[in-house]
A = this chain, B = another copy of it.
Amino acid sequence: MSVSQIVELLKNHGLKITPQRVEILRFLQSNRIHPTAQQIYEHVLSKVGSVSFTTVYNTLHTLEEMGQVKKIAISESMAIYDIDTSDHGHFVCTVCGSIYDINYKVKMNLPGTVQRTELIVYGVCSQCSDYLQHNV
C-alpha cells in the first residue's frame, strides 16, 4: 500500500492526515513483524522525529475500530498489532521472538457462538533449531 493509498484510507474515514498516522500505517504494512506499541513508537520516532505513546495508542485504537488492525495478546503484559485482519493464527518463536502467521483448521465443540478465535503456538522456529543444532 502506497502513501497515497494510506492517505485515501484515512480521508475515507474522516481522519486527518498526520505524519505520525501515515508512518504508523506504513510501518504496519511494510514490516509484517507484528510489532508491539513500543516497536511502533521507536520506529515512528526515528522516521518522523516526533511521536508519543499517546499518539501511538490513539492511532491503534482508531485503526482497531476501523477494523484495519487486530490486537493480539501474546503475553499477559503486552499486545502486538497485526494489520492482517484475516483469520489466521500465530507462531511465536520462544528463542528469537519472531512471530509467523499460520493457517489452520480447527475442530471443536463449543458452549456458545463464536465471535473470534485466537490460536497462538509457542515453539522454536526452524532457523533457531538449525542454529542450535550446529552450535550447542
Contacts and interface: CB of A to CB of B under 8 A. Distances in A.
A12 interface: no
Query: Which DSSP category, helix, strand, loop or mixed, fits chain A's interface?
Result: strand
A86 to B, nearest CB: 15
Interface string A65-79: 000000101111111
Q: How large is the interface on A (under 10, 10 to 19, 20 to 34, 35 or more residues)?
A: 35 or more
Given A113-B129, A114-B122, A118-B120, 7 more contacts: A71-B76, A100-B111, A102-B111, A104-B106, A113-B124, A115-B123, A118-B119
Interface stretch (A2-10, A13-21, A22-30, A87-95): A87-95
Interface of A: 71, 73-79, 89, 91, 93-94, 100, 102-126, 128-129
A108 B104 contact: yes
B112 A129 contact: yes
